[in-house]
Amino acid sequence: MPGSGLTDEEGQLRGSEVSEAGAPPESGQLYRANTNNFDLPRRQAKTAETVAVAIVHDVVSRKLKPGDMLPSESVMRAEYGVSRASLREALRLLEVQGLIRLKPGPGGGPEVGEVDPRNLAQLTSLYLHLGGGTYRQLFEAQLHIAPLVARLAAANPDRELVRSRMSPFLVADLPVEGDAYWATTGSFHGRVEELSGNRVVELMARVISHLWNVHVATRMDTTPLRSMIHADHRKIARAIIAGHETKAGRLMCDHYEVLQAEYARHWPARFDELIEWG
């Protein structure tokens, strides 16, 4: 597109957006799914994106672990047949997602990072903010997925694993103050999600839980609720250990409905605010 500063491809995309939309999107609605996406040709991946995918495939196929070093820049350039600029852009793409870390200094270079759902949660919060998603909608999603996770955990066939993962939450003297409280409650839900046995459901549940905890739960004084929360967790843990799928799901749903009512009573305006990016 001459004089516009855009490439031909970008200009065509920008033009199609204007012609279809007709007007700028409203605030909080910048991201809208195109209902005709399945009819559109797939965008050709940039070289850096292709290299990033290849690096991830190699990390998985070579069974590399967090902290393992990737090959040197010269080796990767030769292996993937790309320029230094494309390789470095690929590494930056992976670094932004937390999938690698660029270790500085002598003996440094790219090393494998942790696969952390918090990175996906942060990116998801951006899309939800631009799409007009609210905390009320986030909590509604949690009311659907959390009981499903509990039912799947109760149905896990490895009963010994279920018992070992849930038993720590049956004791009566769990912490109710400081970081120890948050670590305990976070661990409870993390273990239930892990026991679901479905990595897709587990990941979606972790993303939703992380967003709610960061943006709502940890910004309130939950002290009066903490003993009740532990009591609910004990009931849910017992149902999961016993393999009572329906009961586990119902108890989890009841648990979150009570929390929603309490959070709404203390911070009603928060529920209708747009989800923040971050």
Cβ count near 86 (within 10 Å): 19
- The beta strands (E) that lie in 75-137 are given as 100-103, 109-112
Give the pLDDT of residue 2: 45
Structure token pair of residue 145: 């997925």
Q: At what angle do helices 245-266 and 135-154 cross, to 10 degrees?
A: 160
Q: Give residue 176's pLDDT.
A: 95
Three-class DSSP category at 101: strand
Q: Structure pTM?
A: 0.76
Residues in the chain: 278
Q: How many Cβ atoms are within 10 Å of 139's Cβ, its own excluded? A: 21
Rounded CA-CA distance 60/252 in Å is: 35
CA distance 176 to 233: 13
Per-residue pLDDT of the chain (278 residues; tens, 9 = 90+): 444 444 443 344 333 333 334 444 454 555 555 545 545 556 667 899 999 999 999 999 999 999 999 999 999 999 999 999 999 999 999 998 888 998 888 888 899 998 888 888 988 999 999 999 999 999 999 999 999 999 999 999 999 999 999 999 999 999 999 999 999 999 999 999 999 999 999 999 999 999 989 998 888 889 999 999 999 999 999 999 999 999 999 999 999 999 999 988 888 888 899 999 98
Distances (CA, A) of 136 to 49, 141, 238: 35, 9, 29
Q: What is the pLDDT of residue 34?
A: 54
Q: Which candidate, 44, 46, 51, places its Cα nearest to that of 81?
A: 51
pLDDT of residue 234: 98
The pLDDT value recorded for residue 8 is: 43
For 30, which DSSP code?
S
**Tell me, what DSSP letter sits at residue 261?**
H
- The domains found in the chain, sorted by start residue, are 8-39 (no CATH), 47-112 (1.10.10.10), 118-272 (1.20.120.530)
